[in-house]
């Protein structure tokens, strides 16, 4: 199970916490360029919004680690053991999150492009928080320091070593993936309606919400039957990887304005800074 919608909502909560309001750097923790606002401002693209990028980056980073399932899905069908063993490895590594941060540091000319740098801080922080969350929930370990394990060094952390769930629990958690998606889409829908943002995509995100909720009911029903865990996983992950993983990435991309908006923004509060940024 991945509960990507749950991770998306954690990203939203993080954004509210660390960058609750404002645009163009008036959110509390937005790092400033060491060369001063003039140099940074000169390099910042006209439409860039450092605080908004930080907020959106936190949501994107919270979702990204589980895109390893794109690669591992086909592998799972060949070897379920290998597919499961590879999940929560390379995309869940704190070292990979640090490499992402380093990439954005270079890309932003050492942080002088604050919009680009804040996006990197958001994505890397979101990835790290996702991995640490996985340690606590979902009853399995994380290859937190991949690829050190490949070199024979300790890299896996597992607080659940030796813990065995009743067979029904993984199946119900798999079904709950769709409840988590539904809650994420419901949040996006409500927020966009309140802000007046991303209106072209709102009807679709509402359909995504309805579909997720329906599949939660269907999969919960299936989980309560005597279906073998392996077969349930194949039926569940096929839909998850082929349909729902692309959907959540699409919705997060298309609703960027909604996810970038300040936490306290209303329709007027969001639109006004956008207008001023276009000048």
- Which residues of this chain interact with Zn ion, rule CB under 5 A? 65-66, 134
Shortest Å, Cβ 100 to Zn ion: 15
* Tokens 């909604």, located at residue: 258
Question: What is the separation of C-alpha 122 from the centre of its chain, rounded to a whole number of angstroms?
Answer: 10
Tell me if residue 208 falls in helix, strand or coil: helix
Identify which of residues 175 and 261 has a Cβ nearer to Zn ion in the complex: 175
Identify which of residues 134 and 177 has a Cβ nearer to Zn ion in the complex: 134
Count of other CB atoms within 10 angstroms of residue 230: 10
Question: What is the separation of C-alpha 97 from the centre of its chain, rounded to a whole number of angstroms?
Answer: 13
Shortest Å, Cβ 149 to Zn ion: 17
Shortest Å, Cβ 166 to Zn ion: 22
Dihedral Cα 260, 263, 267, 268, nearest 10 deg: -100
Please, what is the Cα angle at 107 between 123 and 256, to 5 degrees? 40
Shortest Å, Cβ 264 to Zn ion: 30
Identify which of residues 33 and 89 has a Cβ nearer to Zn ion in the complex: 89
Identify which of residues 8 and 50 has a Cβ nearer to Zn ion in the complex: 8
Shortest Å, Cβ 136 to Zn ion: 12
Q: Is 106 exposed, middle or buried (0-12, 13-18, 19+ CB in 10 A)?
A: exposed
Dihedral Cα 229, 233, 236, 242, nearest 10 deg: -170
Identify which of residues 19 and 100 has a Cβ nearer to Zn ion in the complex: 100
């Amino acid at each position: 199970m991945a509960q990507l919608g749950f991770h998306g909502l954690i990203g939203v909560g993080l954004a509210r916490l660390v960058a609750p309001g404002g645009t163009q750097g008036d959110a509390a923790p937005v790092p400033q360029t060491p060369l001063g606002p003039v140099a940074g401002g000169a390099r910042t693209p006209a439409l860039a919004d450092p605080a908004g990028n930080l907020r959106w980056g936190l949501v994107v980073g919270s979702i990204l680690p589980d895109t390893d399932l794109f690669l591992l899905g086909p592998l799972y069908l060949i070897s379920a053991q290998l597919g499961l063993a590879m999940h929560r490895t390379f995309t869940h590594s704190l070292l990979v999150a640090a490499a992402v941060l380093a990439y954005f540091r270079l890309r932003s000319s050492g942080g002088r492009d604050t919009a680009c740098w804040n996006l990197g801080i958001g994505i890397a922080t979101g990835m790290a928080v996702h991995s640490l969350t996985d340690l606590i929930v979902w009853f399995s370990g994380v290859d937190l320091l991949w690829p050190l394990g490949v070199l024979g060094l300790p890299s896996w952390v597992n607080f659940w070593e030796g813990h065995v769930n009743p067979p029904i629990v993984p199946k119900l958690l798999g079904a709950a993936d769709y409840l988590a998606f539904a809650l994420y889409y419901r949040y996006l829908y409500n927020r966009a309606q309140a802000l007046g943002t991303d209106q072209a995509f709102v009807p679709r995100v509402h359909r995504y919400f309805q579909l997720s909720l329906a599949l939660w009911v269907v999969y919960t029903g299936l989980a309560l039957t005597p279906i073998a865990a392996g077969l349930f996983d194949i039926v569940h992950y096929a839909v998850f990887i082929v349909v729902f993983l692309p959907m959540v990435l699409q919705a997060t991309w298309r609703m960027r304005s909604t996810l970038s908006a300040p936490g306290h923004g209303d329709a007027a509060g969001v639109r006004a800074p956008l207008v001023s940024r276009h000048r």
